[in-house]
Homo-oligomer: A and B are copies of this chain.
Amino acid sequence: MVAIGSALVDVLAHGTDEELARQGLVKGSMALVDLDRSNAIYKDMAAGIEVSGGSAANTVVGVAALGGRSGFLGKVADDQFGELFLHDLSAAGVSLGHTRPTPSRLEGEPGEGRGEPLATGRCLVIVTGEGERTMATHLGAATTFGPEDVDEPFVMSANVLYLEGYLWDLPPAKAAMRRATELAHQADVLVALSASDPFCVERHRREFLDLLRDDVDVLFANEEEVKLLFGAGSFDRAAGAVEETGLLAALTRGASGSVVVTAGGTLEVPAAEVDQVVDTTGAGDLYAAGFLFGLTRGHEPYTCAQLGGLCAAEVISHLGARPQVDLADLAKRTKII
């Protein structure tokens, strides 16, 4: 599978509800912030650790860790965070296609045109209480990804094209994803979309619905996202609305597991066991990794959802959204496949 996503380095630190309130951040969500706000939030954060991240990038790393072939398209700057990001994808066995550091240029977005060089994107992750994460993302160089960065043979030789919903906020990235979707259709590549975030769904609801009708084969969304997407008052109603679309959809419900909507009916799949939830960053990304790996290997949707749950359980048991164990070995030991 090949993913198009934002290239980000996560800066993770423990925090408090008071800190979130002081910074105007909504617990459990992702806020896009400009450079000044990113710097102000960072200044207020505790000492942290840095791990390569980015939603779709986490997913391709998960697929590679399961033993699948995966590739990534995105943009970093020519700086230390960019170097970390590219190193970590390569070390995980992910192909990079055209992904190269973007040439240096100055930040020119409204409100941030301070002449600072465009840096690799940074996602500040504040982990509170029972591992819940709240994110403030400065996209930086990730904003420069456009249609010219869509590596055609790379996309057309994949079995799945995976699109990160977050990127829908950026017009050039949106155009790039539309271009990639056209290529995917020409080459009979399955198209999967991640809803990414409730606010992201709210911002792009109509476009996402059009996309689901015309261009997407597989949808990933959590409970809140799918309810917002279909304007449904309950999860069951939302799942009912998804059934009518004919999509294959994996709807995640945190500790309650996931619900898979298929042409042959709707399945409830329990969550995998977790000893201790440390940091939920990447849970949805790794669920998608397990699910898509299973799908490309020809497994039944129920098995795909079990694999997704297994990978999500691993990633929430430690800080950071990249797996820390050999997922292929983990899948073997649990005898799911």
Contacts and interface: CB of A to CB of B under 8 A. Distances in A.
Interface of A: 11, 13, 42-43, 45-52, 61, 79-81, 84, 87-89, 91-92, 119, 320, 322
A81 B320 CA distance: 18
A76 to B, nearest CB: 12
Nearest to A80: B80
B51 A50 contact: yes
Contacts of A50: 49-51, 84
A262 B47 CA distance: 36
Per DSSP, are chain A's interface residues mostly helix, strand or loop, or mixed?
A: mixed
B49 A320 contact: yes
A49 B322 CA distance: 10
A46 B119 CA distance: 24
Contact of A51 (B49, B52, B61, B91): B49
Contact of A91 (B45, B52, B79, B119): B45
A3 to B, nearest CB: 16
A44 to B, nearest CB: 9
Given A79-B80, A81-B80, A88 B320 contact: no
A47 B80 CA distance: 15
A49 B320 CA distance: 9
Contact of A46 (B42, B47, B79, B91): B91
A322 to B, nearest CB: 6
Contacts of A80: 79-81, 119
Contacts of A51: 49-50
Contact of A47 (B52, B79, B81, B119): B52
Contacts of A61: 47
A269 B88 CA distance: 42
Given A47-B92, A47-B322, A79-B80, 17 more contacts: A42-B87, A45-B87, A46-B91, A47-B61, A47-B88, A47-B89, A47-B91, A48-B88, A48-B91, A49-B49, A50-B50, A50-B51, A50-B84, A79-B79, A80-B80, A80-B81, A80-B119
- A-B complex: 8 closest residue pairs judged by Cβ atoms: A50-B50, A47-B88, A47-B91, A80-B80, A49-B51, A47-B92, A46-B91, A80-B81
Nearest to A61: B47
Contacts of A91: 13, 45-48
A120 to B, nearest CB: 8
A61 B46 CA distance: 12
Nearest to A13: B91
29 contacts: A11-B84, A13-B91, A42-B87, A43-B87, A45-B87, A45-B91, A46-B91, A47-B52, A47-B61, A47-B87, A47-B88, A47-B89, A47-B91, A47-B92, A47-B322, A48-B88, A48-B91, A49-B49, A49-B50, A49-B51, A49-B320, A50-B50, A50-B51, A50-B84, A79-B79, A79-B80, A80-B80, A80-B81, A80-B119
A269 B48 CA distance: 32
A114 to B, nearest CB: 15
Contacts of A320: 49
